[in-house]
Amino acid sequence: MEENKTPVEVLLERGQAYTKTTLQLFKLKATNKGAELISKVVSGFVILILLILLFVNLNIAIALLIGELLGKMWLGFCILAGFYGVAGLIVYLFRDRLIKRPVSNSIIKELLNEDEFSEEELSE
């Protein structure tokens, strides 16, 4: 036997169901964003390690080549170290424009990026 509910009771039940659904959707979206961010960080970290290994080996080869051309191996390493010292100083001086802003913008863009789900798909 069906209870006769007042319109206010029906409205309250629907409001509670809507609130629960909205909260669940928020949790799913937050989980999705967290998983995306973590996967990008991990994949970026792996790529960074591989690139570091590549550049270390390449720099050793270049330093040995410069040292061989100049006749003293240690001189090749000193010249390469000086080059990276100047490059590091330039990056330090322009770190906000070269690193901080692009990284901040990338993180904000990723977090504010609209989800793949549209309102129509969710209502089905």
Q: Taking 60 as the threshold, does the pLDDT of residue 115 lie above it? A: no
Domain membership of residue 17 as a residue range? 7-123
The domain tally of the chain equals: 1
State the Cα–Cα distance between residues 74 and 87, nearest whole angstrom.
20
Q: Taking 60 as the threshold, does the pLDDT of residue 12 lie above it? A: yes
Residue 114 placed within a domain:
yes
Residue 107 placed within a domain:
yes
Residue 77 placed within a domain:
yes
Residue 2 placed within a domain:
no
Q: Taking 60 as the threshold, does the pLDDT of residue 118 lie above it? A: no
Residue 1 placed within a domain:
no
Residue bearing the bigger pLDDT, 123 or 67: 67
Contact 40, 110 (CB under 8 A): yes
Instruction: Output the 3-class SS for 44-65.
Output: HHHHHHHHHHHHHHHHHHHHHH
What's the whole-number mean pLDDT along residues 54-62? 96
Residue 50 placed within a domain:
yes
State the Cα–Cα distance between residues 121 and 123, nearest whole angstrom.
6
Q: Which residues contact 111 (CB under 8 A, 6 or more apart)?
A: 33, 37
Residue 84 placed within a domain:
yes
